[in-house]
């Protein structure tokens, strides 16, 4: 089996990904400011119920809560979709990355359900998986731009 030398960029990406996962776990399981106590546990298994509820009551609860709930869940998983293909070539396919994001998000939600922390929400799984997909698209766009730049530099 041939060993390939890992680049400095690879190790930086791994480090950033590990820090990201640690921060994500803190926010999802321990941050009281994010409602992560077992006193406020709830669950939702009906797709789009919570998204619809946040939207309908956005004027009462504040638009920032709607944005935090919907876009926060998406943005929180963009790094997952971006860094997975960067740190491991097994994640070079969009379906593999999205499946990994789906399974990771499902795992998080099941842990929240089991430990009664935060809330189990099927909408979060959908939004987190969407964020993973967006991160993968950003990664691929970045990879294409880097490839074009290298080709242009060779011509000079």
pLDDT at 133 over 90: yes
* Span 37-89, pLDDT tens digits: 666 678 899 999 999 999 999 899 888 989 988 999 999 999 999 999 999 99
**Could you tell me the residue range of the domain that residue 83 belongs to?**
8-151
Distance spanning both ends of the chain, measured CA to CA: 37
* Span 101-115, pLDDT tens digits: 999 999 999 999 998
Asked whether residue 1 is assigned to any structural domain, the reply reads: no
Number of domains in the chain: 1
Instruction: Round to whole Å and give the CA distance between 146 and 141.
Output: 9
* pLDDT for position 3: 60
Asked whether residue 3 is assigned to any structural domain, the reply reads: no
* pLDDT for position 37: 64
Asked whether residue 41 is assigned to any structural domain, the reply reads: yes
* pLDDT for position 36: 63
pTM of the model: 0.89
* pLDDT for position 131: 99
* pLDDT for position 85: 97
Asked whether residue 156 is assigned to any structural domain, the reply reads: no
Instruction: Round to whole Å and give the CA distance between 68 and 138.
Output: 21
Q: List alpha helices for the chain, DSSP H.
A: 8-29, 49-56, 58-61, 63-87, 94-115, 122-155
Q: State percent of the chain over pLDDT 90.
A: 72
2 compared with 69, residue with greater pLDDT: 69
Asked whether residue 2 is assigned to any structural domain, the reply reads: no
Asked whether residue 87 is assigned to any structural domain, the reply reads: yes
């Amino acid at each position: 089996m041939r060993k390939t030398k890992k680049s400095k960029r690879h190790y930086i990406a791994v480090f950033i990904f590990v820090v990201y996962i640690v921060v994500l776990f803190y926010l999802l399981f321990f941050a009281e400011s994010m409602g992560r106590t077992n006193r406020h546990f709830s669950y939702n298994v009906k797709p789009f119920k919570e998204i619809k509820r946040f939207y309908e009551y956005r004027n009462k609860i504040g638009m920032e809560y709607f944005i935090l709930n919907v876009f926060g869940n998406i943005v929180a998983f963009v790094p997952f979709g971006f860094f997975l293909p960067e740190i491991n070539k097994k994640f070079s396919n969009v379906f593999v990355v999205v499946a990994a994001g789906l399974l990771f998000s499902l795992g998080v939600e099941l842990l929240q359900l089991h430990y009664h922390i935060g809330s189990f929400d099927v909408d979060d799984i959908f939004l987190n998986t969407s964020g993973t997909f967006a991160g993968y698209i950003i990664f691929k766009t970045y990879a294409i731009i880097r490839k074009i730049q290298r080709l242009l530099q060779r011509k000079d």
